Structure 1
Amino acid sequence: MKRILLKLSGEALAGGKGFGFDEETCLGVARQVKVLLEQGIQVAIVIGGGNFWRGRNSSKIIERTKSDQIGMLGTVMNCIYVSEIFRTLGMKTKVYTPFLCGSFTELFAKDSAVEALEEGKVVFFAGGTGHPYFSTDTGTTLRAIEIEADAILLAKAVDGVYDSDPKTNPQAKKFDKISIQEVVDRRLQVVDLTSTIMCMENKMPMVVFGLNEENSIVKALSDEFNGTYVTVD
């Protein structure tokens, strides 16, 4: 693969703390991404905001649009923080948002983002789609399609795609490979349904794996991969 978009959950960045940032976890991600860059792979990243705010689930009294806006700003904080962690390891980065954030970020434009990737910079897409009622899953899929990524890498709390929730069903079956059509038919929650349909229509494959496994991001693009390939053929 030449160009990938890596989706990280905000909760994953919090490590065992459950909130905010765990610096060692973020450094671990940065070290792995640096290996990919050294292999000539272009890397874009989307980070969720769940380590600060979980959108509509966070409040019963705040209106949905405002709640989603708070979540978008949480992703901006995450991307700025993680991009700086990457810089401490010698990588060059750029953070884009779909709305103006003063001098903190740059306004997203495909040509600019692709140029930065081709220059070897790690590109962060913060702020989701810039609109309420869309998840960071949707933002991930949208940006992956726009920059013509070869695949979306989904670093999750579980180590792949299962036919049911492995946390509640010890007999849940893990798929080594599954088609995007079967994901839709079975309503498997790899990403939300909007994002799944977008991947299917635009033939965007996904690589699903557990972030907590050692060197899992690098392994996701090697023969040592132990997650699930979501195919679009």
Structure 2
Amino acid sequence: MPDSKSDSQWIILKADDLIYDSVHTLPAGFNKFIEYISRKQIKASLGIIGRSLETDVTAYFDALQEIHSSGLFEIWNHGYQHLLRGRKVRGEMFDEFQNTSSEYQYDNMLKTQQLAKTKLGITLRTFGAPGNAIDDNTVKAIEQIDEIKVWLFGKPSGKLVLYRYCDIEYPTLKPDYSKFVEHYTTQRDYLVLQVHPKEWSKEDFMEFEKIIDFLLTKDVAFITPYDFYLRR
């Protein structure tokens, strides 16, 4: 598998919902995912929920720093609360980054940036909203944070926006090899593939591994979002 050819199709694995687990430090599904990516010597990105960094568990921070230092993973900003389907006083629905003020969205985005710096010594360079739920206020918020360079499934802005052209999970949370192969395209120079390993069963992991094995037969190179930005 090539890892630097400019004419290869770039594959960006977008693993959502990384959070602290009181039993395993990292959720068991993430531990299995990280071990698999490391064994295959490919690359992936991990979306961390900011509030998880408010713990004082040193083992959590050590694990994240080790993952970051491996060079195979990018940890990115997946919001602070991971709030979806909230309801306002008058019954109106909202998400952390949709149907909320730009000030609220900026504060939540910034909290995660600051926690990553304070607890991990890491500057997060990529953002992706929980549930990919965003609005025009998200544009206003993200434009105020210069250190974020990449926006996964975002809106046109001053950031490098990486769009969604293909999926691994059909439906969300359920990897499906047959459907992935059916929808896989070589017509894009990159594919951002969203996954939720925290929620996967043994069978789900088997489907995912079949998908990776399929991709490894193609002219592809796995890369992290920020490394992709640096190559542009």
- TM-score of the superposition, structure 2-length normalised? 0.39
Q: State TM-score, norm by structure 1.
A: 0.39
Q: Which has the higher contact order (CA 8 A, sep 6+)?
A: 2
